[in-house]
Amino acid sequence: MKALVVERNLPRFAAARVASLLGSGRGAGIGPLQLLDAGAPDRPGDDWYPLRPLLSGICGSDLATLDGRTSRYFEDLVSFPFVPGHEVVGVLDDGGTDFAGRPLAPGTRAVIEPVLGCATRHIQPPCPRCGSGHTGLCGNLTSGDLEPGLQTGFCTDTGGGWSTAPLMAHASQLHAVPDALSDQDAVMIEPTACAVHAALSAGVADGDVVAVVGAGTLGLATVAALDSLVRPTAPCTVVVGAKHARQRELADELGADHVVPPDQLVRAVRRQSGSTVLAGRLAEGADVVFDCVGSAASLTEALSMVRARGRVVLVGMPGKVSVDLAPLWHRELTLVGAYAYGNETPPGPDGSERRSFELAVDLVGTAGLGRLVSALYPLERYEEALAHAGAAGRRGAVKVAFDLRNPKGRSR
């Protein structure tokens, strides 16, 4: 069995950073990632189960890590060596138990909620955030029975999805995949859960103008989440800035009202909000802006198009960026992050809480988000896969994933 492994090797990280100047993912061959023989990691406890990956996605945060561009903030939240891959659908060959304590039969397909919170670390009592179900905000990511690691795919003890060997999944992480969902659908559940969490935490109100900056995986999933989970109770106008033609098509299909190239987004938001312009920014622009890119440019743009006292939600993972925060202060804006997932209270009559992942499982099926999976690669062709993922939009793709099902490998 094989696995892609990231080791702490500063010269290789430096080489990857230089190579990434040619394009994200271009440094895979000289960076810290290596394809090695591997077996399943040891079970950290009886409540952990081997999950044999079927598909595992390549996320923007994976690329940032491999490009050596990740914020140093995360340095203490990972443990080396680790196998990347936190967007995973796999098979529980020996069965297991799911997040709600329900038994899962051998052969069950499952996805993992990769956050390694208190339950996975056997910490009792759990931290207040985990105690309230918001595991993404866990304060014990470096403690307990596991080595540090904010998620599966960044922790040396659990393994990760970029492997033909099983990873270890804690019962609290496991969600069974309905038979109706394909593997492609299932591998989209994790990023969709992030989008669900962002959409539901943004406080979108009836009649709002909502802007989405960026139409990669997170941007498109956010559009879908807004359309399915927010709009039924808070009808809103969704304007999307999408750089590439395929992204524009998908954003339109997933429910955006207006899809425009990025350089037209501010003007489109201005038109929709009927705003005037103040000091080069919209005076009364979008009520909520989702920044699904996470760069200095996207954040600056988001701050320029949100209305006074409006909300900018950071969905894409930012790094160390330089942004003029004068408008944030002057316009009394709210800048808020939306990381991972937790318990959500979707709008509706019953008001009951559900996991972001549960909602994402439903949404992936109803919105057909499996179509966002554009290309599958075997592990052996990881350099091509990462280069493809790094240039996904330009190459007409959205989500690129590893296909661990066929040892011969294939791609499409």
Binding-site ranges for another protein (CB under 8 A):
258, 260, 264, 267-268, 270-271, 274-277
Q: Dmax over Cα atoms in the chain, in whole Å?
A: 62
* Spatial separation of the C-alpha atoms in residues 328 and 135, rounded to whole Å: 29
In the bound state with another protein, the residue whose beta carbon lies nearer, of 8 and 267, is: 267
In the bound state with another protein, the residue whose beta carbon lies nearer, of 236 and 340, is: 236
Nearest Cα residue to 241 out of 223, 259, 255: 259
In the bound state with another protein, the residue whose beta carbon lies nearer, of 276 and 406, is: 276
CB of 125 to another protein, least distance (A): 55
Distances (CA, A) of 188 to 57, 86, 117, 183, 368: 8, 11, 22, 9, 10
In the bound state with another protein, the residue whose beta carbon lies nearer, of 132 and 276, is: 276
CB of 333 to another protein, least distance (A): 20
* Spatial separation of the C-alpha atoms in residues 100 and 159, rounded to whole Å: 23
In the three-class reduction of DSSP (H, G, I as helix; E, B as strand; rest coil), residue 261 is classed as: coil
CB of 341 to another protein, least distance (A): 35
In the bound state with another protein, the residue whose beta carbon lies nearer, of 155 and 236, is: 236
* Spatial separation of the C-alpha atoms in residues 52 and 49, rounded to whole Å: 10
CB of 201 to another protein, least distance (A): 30
H-helix or E-strand spanning residue 90: strand 88-92
In the bound state with another protein, the residue whose beta carbon lies nearer, of 250 and 400, is: 250
Classify burial at 147, counting beta carbons within 10 Å of its beta carbon; exposed 0-12, middle 13-18, buried 19 or more: middle
CB of 267 to another protein, least distance (A): 6
CB of 285 to another protein, least distance (A): 11
Evaluated on CA atoms 139, 116, 347, 287, the torsion sign reads positive
